Amino acid sequence: MDVRDRTPGPVDPSVLTLQDTHRSVDVWNLTGDVAKPLQCRHYRTPWVVHDRCLEYVTYAGFGGVHRLGFREIDRHLVTTLVERWRQETHSFHLPVGEATVTLWDVAILTRLPVQGTAVTGSFLVDPVGLVVRVLGVQPGPNDVRGSALRTIWLRDTFQGLPADADDATVQRYARAYLFFLISGVVFGNKSGSHLQLIYLQLLDHDWEHIRGYSWGSASLAVLYRQLCRASRSGALEIGGPLFVLQVYYVYYHKRIMQ
């Protein structure tokens, strides 16, 4: 066997130019914490959602995320895929060839809308006021840290829908749960204790407007970004919509076996 065939990087570095800072170098040289799987920042315990609230969540396009988003994540599987991910091509380099999660995969597997308004926001001037306006409840002074809201406060406040709740209350509770799905599951970052309020401003609209966002496109962009970060040398954790990556692998593997 040629010596070049036993190195972790490409024979021709003209395309894959970031090999020197790729995670595979650490794996090959047994440096850093590569013996441990990546820490997957992922919520595993959903709260109980009333059917009346779930109707609005489903209408907004997040029914699939509600069903799939809280499944156990296989850290070893995710780590193995990350080691095959290349920032230069945004694809997995596998023994059978290149593969990647496409927008079509996201649409089919999650049912998130992939057409519509781009998911963008603006700088938050009054985070507490935004919470009061969208959710109708004012958090305590220790529940908001900068532009982030404490997850426990959101759960404790909106966990159970009152039996005599009117439709306005149902919608507030539905927005609270949808905010948790968006900020904690789909766009989840490395913090498990706080949710970024920049995503709550996207829910400060009527349901037709909320439904009109291209949530699937945004979730795919976040997944690519998280994969790129985690594939760098020295990375220890990964966030984002990891359930999409896991479901995609099962779906893709099934297609290969057929």
Question: Each residue of 170-220: pLDDT tens digit?
Answer: 999 999 999 999 998 999 876 678 899 999 999 999 999 999 999 999 999
CA distance 198 to 138: 17
Which residue is associated with the tokens 């995609």? Answer: 248
Domain boundaries, the chain: 18-257
Question: Each residue of 229-249: pLDDT tens digit?
Answer: 999 998 999 999 999 998 888
Q: How many helices (H) and strands (E) does the chain have?
A: 11, 8
Strand runs (DSSP E) across 113-253, as ranges?
144-145, 148-150, 194-196, 237-238
**Percent share of the chain, pLDDT over 70:** 90
